[in-house]
Amino acid sequence: MAFDFDLFVIGGGSGGVRAARIAASEGGARVALAEESRMGGTCVIRGCVPKKLMVFASGVPQQIADAGAYGWDVAPGTFDWPRFRGALAKELDRLEAAYRSGLVNAGVTIYDQRATIEDPHTLRLADGHRVTAKHILIATGGWPFVPDIPGRDLAVTSNEMFGLDALPARAVVVGGGFIASEFACILNGLGVSVTQLYRGGQILRGFDNEARDLVADSMAAHGVNILLNADVARLDRIAGGIKVTLTDDTAMETDLVLYATGRVPNTSGLGLDRIGLETGKAGEIPVDGFSQTAVPSVYAVGDVTNRINLTPVAIREGHAFADTVFRGVPTMADHDLVPMAVFTQPELGAVGLTEEEAVARGEPFEVYAARFRPMRSLFAGRDDRTLMKLIVDDATRVVLGCHIVGPEAGEMIQLAAVAIRMGATKEDFDRTVAVHPTAAEELVTMRKPARRGPIG
């Protein structure tokens, strides 16, 4: 049977765009891609990229405050949100255009509309047209999840954060994960009075406990009011704001409520039922190591598969799919030792085992940890702390994990991850000459373990 295309990709985000480009330009495939919103997906349009630019914007007051210590007379300024928002919108337009031209140059046919699945080889476009393809790739990403509490419509999600009409004076951020913690810091840096509510005992669950504690303590020291073991019961509109009532009946008033309570795979109305594809517990599309679903012509990559929900992972999965299906090079995306950065203030970078995971593993290990005041902020009279931490296997000396809290932790963890992926031992780190004076040099100058575990 002759198909209209060799590949039809649903979703123009990180994973879908990479797969489409490689399949077309390097695999010689006839490729189409449908995107119902803007090209670039969550990361480019309403996630990582605008978030990072907001992180930069929110860091400026601290730099101005520090300037005096460095001999500069700088007056504290005011933040012009509409001006920044306009510049942000322009930059996103530029990036969207770059994504689009990348696809066009690779020969990909773009449909700027929603596509749903009719059968294992047929798609229906929103304008009513039907298109056939030998392979279908679902790369529809995720969507913010907001629990069903009374008044939930009064809350916004990260989707809306980049286009707010005005910055609020007060904000309540609900959640303790990546997005909640990052936005709590961004808003705080921009001068908003922030309360972060988290239902558990400490924010950033899953990261190394010592690192989480330091991030949380530092956020609090910088002005974020973190309330732990706090759950929202309801939201009510009141004169001049929103009333947030917690399950313990305490209440607070605020101007903006941001819910960042996780994201769910975006499969609603996609037509999975028409091809007999059942989703998993979290609503994800189950796939094998090659990103193939139970329907052989249908594949899925990225957040919709709920493996590791990070842009670089989706890109790897999309690329591996294209290599496998269109370049004759069977490739599985590798989900091991994925480095991560949380762009809180201070940043958190992590790769490999946490101390808690090392304990659970049951094999002897050493913890090397250095806590210090980095020279830039120390000189400015600030009390910020940096943490550098390595988890080392006792028997093999292999570095199993690295955790960094401090300025540029995201940059540092990328490089540490290369060494750790290569199987570097503690002695390899030690043999590497320090770069002085840097914070990163602590990674190669820690001589004595802070502690060992598990003992016996």
- Binding residues for ligand NDP restricted to 129-168, rule: CB under 6 A: 147
- Which among 176, 178, 160, 177 has a CA at the least distance from the CA of 168? 160
For 202-260, the DSSP string reads SSSTTS-HHHHHHHHHHHHHTT-EEE-S--EEEEEEETTEEEEEETTS-EEEESEEEE-
Q: Applying CB under 6 A, which of residues 131, 138, 179, 399 lies at the interface with ligand NDP?
A: 179
CB of 200 to ligand NDP, least distance (A): 4
310 binds ligand NDP (CB under 6 A): yes
Tell which positions 321-350 bind ligand NDP, by CB under 6 A: 340-343
Specify whether 222 is catalytic.
Answer: no
CB 172 → ligand NDP: shortest distance, Å? 12
Task: Find the shortest distance in angstroms from Cβ 159 to ligand NDP.
Answer: 11
Work out whether 200 is an interface residue with ligand NDP (CB under 6 A).
Answer: yes
User: What is the footprint of ligand NDP within residues 71-90 (CB under 6 A)?
Assistant: none
Of 208 and 393, which has the nearer Cβ to ligand NDP?
A: 208
Distance CA 58, CA 46 (A): 17
**b/e sequence 404-424, b meaning 16+ C-beta within 10 Å:** bbbbbbbebbeebbebbeeeb
Asked whether position 178 contacts ligand NDP by CB under 6 A, the answer is yes
Does position 61 bind ligand NDP by CB under 6 A? no
Quickly list DSSP for 281-316: TTSPPP--TTSB-SSTTEEE-GGGG-SS--HHHHHH
Which residue from 141, 168, 176, 406 is in contact with ligand NDP, where contact means CB under 6 A?
Answer: 176
Nearer to ligand NDP, 122 or 267 (CB): 267
Considering the complex, what minimum distance in angstroms separates the CB of residue 92 from ligand NDP? 17
Residue (30 or 199) nearer to ligand NDP, CB: 199
How far apart are CB 288 and ligand NDP at their closest, in Å?
Answer: 21
Residue of the chain from 309, 354, 377, 386 that contacts ligand NDP (CB under 6 A): 309
Q: Which two tokens stand for residue 3?
A: 């198909």
Convert residues 221-260 into a mask of x (bound to ligand NDP by CB under 6 A) and - (unbound). ----------x----------------------------x
- 175 binds ligand NDP, rule: CB under 6 A: yes
Tokens of 279: 């989703």
HSE-up of residue 293 (Cα within 13 Å, Cβ side): 24
Shortest reach from residue 185's CB to ligand NDP, in Å: 12
User: Which amino acid, residue 22?
Assistant: I
336 contact partners, CB below 8 Å, separation of at least 6: none
Q: How many residues bind ligand NDP (CB under 6 A)?
A: 23
Residues β-bridged to residue 171 = 194, 256
Of 260 and 270, the one with the shorter C-beta distance to ligand NDP is: 260
- Closest distance of CB 54 from ligand NDP, Å: 12
State the residue for tokens 């009532």: 245
Binding to ligand NDP by residue 30, rule CB under 6 A?
A: no
CA distances from 375 to 68, 81, 83, 435, 445 (A): 15, 31, 33, 14, 17
| CA triple 73-79-85, angle to 5 deg | 140
Beta bridge partners of 256: 171
As a whole number of angstroms, the distance between CA 359 and CA 136 comes to 43
Select from 133-141, 169-177, 209-217, 395-403 the region that touches ligand NDP (CB under 6 A): 169-177
* Nearest residue to 14 via CA among 120, 112, 142, 145: 142
Stretch that binds ligand NDP, among 30-38, 73-81, 179-187, 359-367 (CB under 6 A): 179-187
Least gap, CB of 307 to ligand NDP (angstroms): 10
Answer yes or no: are the C-beta atoms of 206 and 351 closer than 8 Å.
no
Interface with ligand NDP, residue 205, by CB under 6 A = yes
CA–CA separation, 314 vs 15, rounded Å? 5
Of 311 and 324, CB closest to ligand NDP: 311
Instruction: Return the residue of 195, 254, 261, 306 that touches ligand NDP, per CB under 6 A.
Output: 261
Q: Residue 283 interacts with ligand NDP (CB under 6 A)?
A: no
Q: What is the distance between the alpha carbons of residues 300 and 123, in angstroms, rounded to a whole number?
A: 15
Smallest CA-to-CA distance from 247 within 262, 258, 231, 260 is with 231
Tokens of 52: 């990072």
Asked if 141 contacts 302 with a C-beta cutoff of 8 angstroms, the reply is yes
Position of minimal CB gap to ligand NDP = 177
Q: Which of 129, 222, 403, 436 is catalytic?
A: 436
Minimal distance, residue 211 CB to ligand NDP, in Å: 14
> Toward ligand NDP, which CB reaches closer, 175 or 346?
175
| Residues identified as active-site | 436
Contact footprint for ligand NDP (CB under 6 A): 147, 175-180, 182, 198-200, 205, 231, 260-263, 309-310, 340-343
